[in-house]
Structure 1
Amino acid sequence: MKPLAVLIIHGVEIQDESFHLTPKRLLQKFFAQHFKGQPNAPDPERAIVVEPVHWAPVLEGAERRLFEEHFVDKKGGFFEELRGLIKRINGGSELWLGPLMALLTRRKDSRLGRLHYPGARWLMMHFVGDAIAYQPGIGQSEVYDKIHACVTEALARLRQRAGDDAPLCVIAHSLGTIIASNYFYDLQVARAEMQKQGQSATRPLESHVDPMKRSPLERGETLAHLYTMGSPLALWSLRYPNQKELDSPVCVPAEELLLHHSGVEGEWVNYYDEDDLIAYPLQPLGDEYRKRVRDVNVRLSGLLFGWTPMVHPFYWANDKVMEPIAKALARTWTQVNGASGGRKRGQTGT
């Protein structure tokens, strides 16, 4: 049995190494449902190998120092309380949005001094500060490279667990969708440049992949699926006034995928909620996006905040998003392993 490799990239985030556990649980749940009642159904924990890209620590130190320059948490606990609430929300619990909103809109706090609205400033630092820090300047790409190094390391772990040529699915949220797009676009551009120069595309890509890591998975050649959620990629288009430069999105599935898995059909699906102020559909960005991306408008659940911009964190925990992704993975698993690998020929999943 050949497993599938799943890479999960968070967006604007704090230190929460468990952020991927909820989407992982839902993927395995719906993957298993696809094969329910079928003989020799695959074990979802073995069939889907999930690896998170936890890049938040790259910026955590600088952001912490920035806040310490302006806020002195005399009694302690204010920012730890914020982090704890975010972690619970990452788990899919809408009930914690109320306490979070109370902290974010608090004008003053006895534990802190100086500037007003410390909670809102903390949130703004993560939403705006992360994006500013990630974007490389002229001759300055240290943060960009460090964050991409986190992706490279996660892909190396995936290779060890899933195999050199495992079909790759990338699931990314918020700023993580920009990171995913840039990372695999850079790989594809470097590979194309090597081919123009008459070099073998199977050689390691300098400055993008460690020379000791030569697997097709790590080079992005087995990229089959890209799922973007709550993506601000449309806002990033403001950096490219030249439409020709903008209208060259990352190729999904990768052109080399068929060399490794001839029967696999990949896709790029962009999920957005109309109430999410950060998320935008991608097809309006240009002809190539219309060809390569399928935009899906989802109504993220939640009786309290499901109709507000606060829906942004809840793609990970929403069945309307995670179930179709899991079903697509189930179809890909069957395409790779054959119908007899998970069910008898002639039978279909639900």
Structure 2
Amino acid sequence: MKKLAVLVIHGIEVDDPGLFDTALHKLHEHFGASVRSAPEDALVVETVNWASVLEGAEKDFLARQGTPDAEGYWKSLYDGVRAVNQGRESALVPLMLRMMRPSVRGMDLHYPGLRWLVVHFVGDIIAYQSNPSDPDVYTGIHRKVAEALGRLRARAGDTAPLCVISHSLGSVIASNYFYDLQAQRLHGRDIIETTVAAAQGNSPLERGETLSRFYTLGTPMALWSLRYPRAELDKPVHVPAPELERHHPGLGGEWINFHDDDDVFAWPLQPLSAAYREAVKDHAVRLAGPLFSWTPLVHPFYWSDDSVMEPIGQSLAEAWRQLGVTPTVAA
């Protein structure tokens, strides 16, 4: 049976083995409601847990700012975020109360919880920026993407259609990664760092040739345009990839950008340029929840919301139905 390869990339996060549990449950639920086959027979899913690249450095940074007495407090914040990751909106209440404590034993700095939050949110963004003189973080994260694509290829096949679901900073990582692949493949620009290139396989899937669907959730990608104030933003990632037609004639693809108007981190992408208006479908959603759905605190809950995961599941189901009646052409 033909399968879809689904790559899932998180945004700013702590290292959490259960991060994607709710998202994958919702994805399978809504995909299964649209097709007659079991989701496990049609979807091969791999996740990119890139938080581990930065986790050690961030913990060392925080440890230097306090004493061992603060370790229990830091652990309570990590545990709180992991509870929120399960889609439990109510878990934000005790987490925010802990973060708002003005002082903690073992820490001289005021509001250590909010500082912890800044380290993870702002620190991740700063660390990810490409630095030619010391590219360890940028390349380390991109190696994680390459390794996940390798696992997808092994399970789904060399030419399986690739669908990418990404949240927040993860959408920027995904866009950069596949842009670099396309720039090298289509325009001969050798911009991929050596260790990343060494981790990349040579199958059509791993080269990004089968990229068919791209879903961005709560993306701050529009803010990256501020880095290029005099450049025309006319080169978004090609979705579907130009080579997809060769591997799966007629399958096509789409880029859907989900954003909640109350989420100050999320921006529509069509206003960036005519090229983005053509490439992206901006899809406004209203994330549900009785406590924080009307505030910027909705940002973590795209993964667990039916208004997001249902259309993604339906879109993947349509792709799988098309795949079932579309002949595959050898590369």
TM tier relative to shorter chain: over 0.9
Specify every segment of 5 or more residues in structure 2 that has no aligned partner in the other structure, as ranges.
Answer: 327-331
The normalised TM-score by structure 1 is 0.89
Residue of structure 2 aligned with 1:174, choices 141, 144, 168: 168
Shift in Å, 1:80: 1.1
Task: Give 1:281's match in structure 2, choosing from 253, 265, 268.
Answer: 268
Residue pairs, 1:220-235, within 5 angstroms: 220-235=208-223
Distance 1:261 1:183 in 2: 22
Asked whether the 8 Å contact 1:7–1:155 carries over to 2, the reply is yes
SS at match of 1:218: coil
SS in 2 for 1:216: coil
* Distance in 1, Cα, partners of 2:132 & 2:199: 26
1:241 aligns with 2:229: yes
Q: Could you state the TM-score of these two structures normalised by the residue count of structure 2?
A: 0.94
- In 1, the alpha carbon distance for the partners of 2:18 and 2:99 equals 23
Is this contact kept in 1: 2:213–2:240, CA < 8 A? yes
The amino acid that maps onto 2:120 is H
Task: State the SS of the aligned residue for 1:296.
Answer: strand
Query: Distance in 1 between the 2:297 and 2:148 partners?
Result: 29
The counterpart of 2:256, out of the listed 269, 281, 294, is 269
Identical amino acids, percent of aligned pairs: 51
2-structure distance, mates of 1:95, 1:109? 24
Q: Given the alignment, which residue of 117, 142, 148 partners 1:148?
A: 142
* 8 Å Cα contact 1:209-1:218 kept in structure 2: no
Aligned residues: 325
Indicate how the Cα distance of structure 1 residues 297 and 149 shifts in structure 2: closer, same or farther if over 3 A, else same: same
Q: The residue matched to 1:243 in structure 2 has which SS?
A: coil
- Taking the aligned partners of 2:238 and 2:18, their CA distance within structure 1 comes to 30
Q: Does structure 2 retain, via aligned residues, the 8 Å contact 1:7–1:171?
A: yes
Residues 150-173 of structure 1, C-alpha deviation per residue, up to 9 Å, x if partnerless? Answer: 000000000011111110110000
C-alpha RMSD over aligned residues: 1.8
Name the SS for the 1:210 alignment partner.
helix
User: Which has the higher mean CA deviation after the structures are superposed, 166-175 or 139-148?
Assistant: 139-148
How far residue 331 of structure 1 moved from its aligned partner, in angstroms, is 0.7
Aligned partners of 2:150 and 2:200 also within 8 Å: no
Distance 1:265 1:193, change over 3 A: closer
Task: For residue 77 of structure 1, give the secondary structure of its aligned residue in structure 2.
Answer: helix
Give 1:205 deviation, angstroms: 10
Q: Work out the CA distance in 2 between the residues paired with 1:26 and 1:34.
A: 13
Kindly provide the amino acid, as one letter, of the partner of residue 208 in structure 2: G
Matched, 1:117 2:111: yes
Cα deviation for residue 208 of structure 1 reads 4.8
Q: What is the deviation of 1:212?
A: 7.5
Q: Please tell me whether residue 128 in structure 1 is matched to residue 122 in structure 2.
A: yes
